[in-house]
Each structure stands twice: as structure tokens, then as C-alpha cells.
Structure 1
Amino acid sequence: MKASTPSLILFFVTSVLAIIFKLLQSDMLMLYTKSVVVPSLFIYYLVSNNYKTKLLNALIFLLFFVREVFNTLRIIESPMGSFLCVLMVYILLLFFAWRDSAFLKYKYNDIFSISLLFIGMGAICFSVLNLKLENLELDFSLYVVFGLILSLLTVFSILNYIKAGSLVFFNGMLMCVSFVISDVFFVLYKFYFYNYLLTLVSLVTQFSSYFFMVNYFLEKERRH
């Protein structure tokens, strides 16, 4: 057994338990279990990377963990704290994706693909934000900014994979697609109407995004 295997098993076990507790509406058990997910993945990443990590990578893990702490505390500042943590993560990942794209050469005929991606992401954001959402926890404009950042991140990640086709960019693309699906379904079940299927999809894709993110980091490290 590899040294990183126990932490990976812990990630999958806690992820499954968090989903089960959420579906059983045991929110506190779900939150406590969910708070173990990110640390277990960080340990897996650290061990797999020979106990080395870059500062920004570690910061991303820390922000995701702090987000779960805010959700567990359920204080009045929790929605804003959780929101800012995820927004900062997306901004950092956008920086990574933009930096990766600087090494790729885009041609004039790429304009069609780029335009199509921007239109598609814009349509998704507009459709979700145009719903009659109820009891929003934060100002609506913040969700617009959030959607814009996530859209840019996703577009860059998909374009990077299209241009390079490497395993690094494949994991980056899957990570961002999972982010989009998770956040869209989260908004739907939290602010539009509650549904077990929406909750299940949101949680499964959230945990999947963490897994793809770790693989994205590890593949980037192996390339260098």
C-alpha cells in the first residue's frame, strides 16, 4: 500500500458519509464529516508530492477548509466568509489557468471556439441568475461577480485542454466543469427549490472537483 492511500480512502469514505448525512437531513453530522474531506485530500497531495507544496496550492486548500469551518460555525458572518473563501480560490485558479495559457499559441481560427465557450458560459450564468431566487444570503451583485470569475476560469481551462490536450489540462478542465455543476445545483436547491437529486449532484460534483484539483496540482508538479 502506498503511503498516500489511507488519506485517499479517508477522502472517499468521508465524502460518501457526508452525502448520506445530507440526504438524511442530518446537517450537523454532514458538516462535521465534510470538514474532514479537504484535510484528507491535502494529506494525500502532500504525501504524493514527496511532502512538498507550493504556497498558493497550500493557500487554496486552506481557503477550502476555512469555508467548511464557516459553514460549520453557522454564525452571522458565515455566508460572506464562505463566499469570499471560494471566490479567492477561483481567482487563484484563474491566475493559474491564465498563466498556463500564456505558453500556448492561439490562432485566428480559435476565435470561434473562444466565442462559443464565452456564449455558453454566459448563457448558463444568465439562466441561473435570472431565476426567481429566494432568500439570497448576500447581495445579488456578488453572485454576478462570482459567476463571471467562474466563467472565465472555466473558459480558460477548457481552451487550455483543447490547445494542449495534456493530462494536466484535462484534470483542470474536469475540475472547473465540476465547479460549475456543483455551484449551479447548489444555487438551485438552496435558493430556488429543495430537491434530493439536486443536492446529490451538487455534493458529488463538489467532492469530484476537489479530487480533480489535486490531480491537476500533482500533474503540474510532475511536469516541472
Structure 2
Amino acid sequence: MRDSRPSFNVYMITSLSVIIFYLLECDTLLSLVKPVIVPAIFYYYIQTTRYKISKSFSIALWLFFVSDMIEITDSNQGLILIMSCSFVSYIIISAMVLSEKTEIRFSNTSVLFSILFAITAVYMSIQVLISVSLENVPKFIFFAMYAALIIVMVIYAIFRFFTEKDYVSQILLAMTMAMFVSDIFYGYARFLIIDNAIIKVVSIIAQFVSYFWMVQYYNNRRPSLAKRTICKNLKL
């Protein structure tokens, strides 16, 4: 395996730089640094993967890059495009997860945690949905579908974690939770809370963390029709 530390270091430095530039309101520097995030984590993926480079996974990752670029250049008018890119990425990731054909077992603990998360997530999502124009029915339906997809992804990850309790299921849960936190806090910052830097920073951090866990999940997942390989330690 090639040394992945340079690409990981670039990813970490640029991620921290984006947060700092956002807090300092250095929009020009922010627009220069943020485009480096996804290429850095993609290069890290290339260096750390033990399998053939996945086209579907690459598309999912680069769609997030497109989403970021739209937000930088046209965040006010491009919201539907931003969400569409992420929505397609989530569908690809969901298909990848389901292809493992894991047998899910239900327990009192997993059901309890899933219900608690579902109630919290639905409540938070409804707050954002209500703030979106209810008069625009197609837009409202798309937002609802988007929220439902990410919530279902997290609930599936919770059940799988309590079923298998291994490293891969931990990564999957961390990845989906980071995606949910990133999206819901983005919605709060955009529609509910005006100029709240903390909410926006939490969204940014969760977004960048989700990219890292995406790569870790794919590198350690169980491909369909193949024997599972579990990596117990992060390899940077």
C-alpha cells in the first residue's frame, strides 16, 4: 500500500483552512481552498483502496464536489442542483450498502435507538421543511424525499450496527450520522437561523468527516460475493 499520509494531510489542512476562512469571512480564500477537499480525499481513496477503483463510488464522491462548487458559485439559485447531486450520491451509497446483503436482526436496543433517532430526525426535518415554501409543492416533495432517504440510511446503519457490532458497521453508522448532521444543520443555518456561525461550522465539519468515513467504509466493506475483510485500525 502506498504512503497515504501526504494526501490525508492535505485533506486535513484544507478542511481546517475552510473552517478558519469561513469564520474569518475570507470568501476569496474560502473559494480557493474548498475545491481541494474532494480531490484530496479522492486521492487518499486511490492510495488506500485494496480493490479496483470503483466507478460508482467515484461518481458519488465527485457529485459532492459538484455540489460544493455550485454552492460556492451560486448558492442562492442553485439549491435544487446542490441537493440533487447529494441525493444521487446518497442513492449510489445506499445501493452499495444494500449490495452487501447483510442479514439484519432486530433487538429491543436497536429498535429503541432507531425510534429515538427517527423521532428526533423527523422533528428537525419538519422544522426545515415548514420553513421552505409550502406553496411550491414539487420543491416540498423533493425536500421531503431527500430527508426521508438520509433518515432511512441512518436507521438502517443503526440496525446493522447492533446486528454485527464490527468495525465496518461502526464506520457505516458514523458516515450516515455525519451526513445527516451536515444536511440538517445546513438546513437550519440556511432557513431557520440567520448568521449563526456555530451551526454552519458544525455542518461543514460533519460534511468533511462524512467524506473521510465514506472512503473508510468503502475500503473496509464486504463486497457482494466476496469474503469480508475487516480493518481494525485506520490506516492513514
User: TM-score, normalised to structure 1's length?
Assistant: 0.85
* Aligned positions of 1:12-161 closer than 5 A: 12-50=12-50, 52-74=52-74, 78-100=78-100, 102-107=101-106, 114-130=114-130, 132=131, 139-161=139-161
Q: Deviations over 1:75-126 (max 9, x none)?
A: 88632221111011111222233334x3214258665555454434323322
Q: Distance in 2 between matches of 1:77 and 1:40?
A: 27
Question: Which segments of 5 or more consecutive residues in structure 2 lack a partner in the other structure?
Answer: 230-236
Deviation beyond 4 Å, 4+ runs, structure 1: 107-117
Q: Which moved more, 1:214-223 or 1:187-196?
A: 214-223
Match of 1:199 in 2: 200
Q: Is the 8 A contact 2:114 2:158 kept in 1?
A: no
Identity %: 25
Q: Which moved more, 1:65-74 or 1:19-28?
A: 65-74
Q: Is the 8 A contact 1:15 1:37 kept in 2?
A: yes
**Corresponding position: 1:174 with 2:194:** no
Tell me the CA shift for residue 155 of structure 1. Answer: 0.8
Q: Distance in 2 between matches of 1:41 and 1:11?
A: 6
Tell me the CA shift for residue 27 of structure 1. Answer: 2.5
Q: Which moved more, 1:106-115 or 1:79-88?
A: 106-115
Match of 2:233 in 1: none
Aligned CA distance change for structure 1 residues 171 and 107 (closer, same or farther; 3 Å): closer
SS at match of 1:139: helix
Match of 2:218 in 1: 217
Q: Which moved more, 1:55-64 or 1:76-85?
A: 76-85
Tell me the CA shift for residue 68 of structure 1. Answer: 2.0
User: TM-score, normalised to structure 2's length?
Assistant: 0.81
Q: Quick one: which amino acid aligns to residue 205 of structure 1?
A: A
Q: Is the 8 A contact 1:8 1:41 kept in 2?
A: yes
Root mean square deviation, CA, Å = 2.8
Q: Is the 8 A contact 1:41 1:211 kept in 2?
A: yes
Q: Distance in 1 between matches of 2:106 and 2:181?
A: 30
Q: How many equivalent residue pairs?
A: 220
SS at match of 1:194: coil
Question: Which segments of 5 or more consecutive residues in structure 1 lack a partner in the other structure?
Answer: none
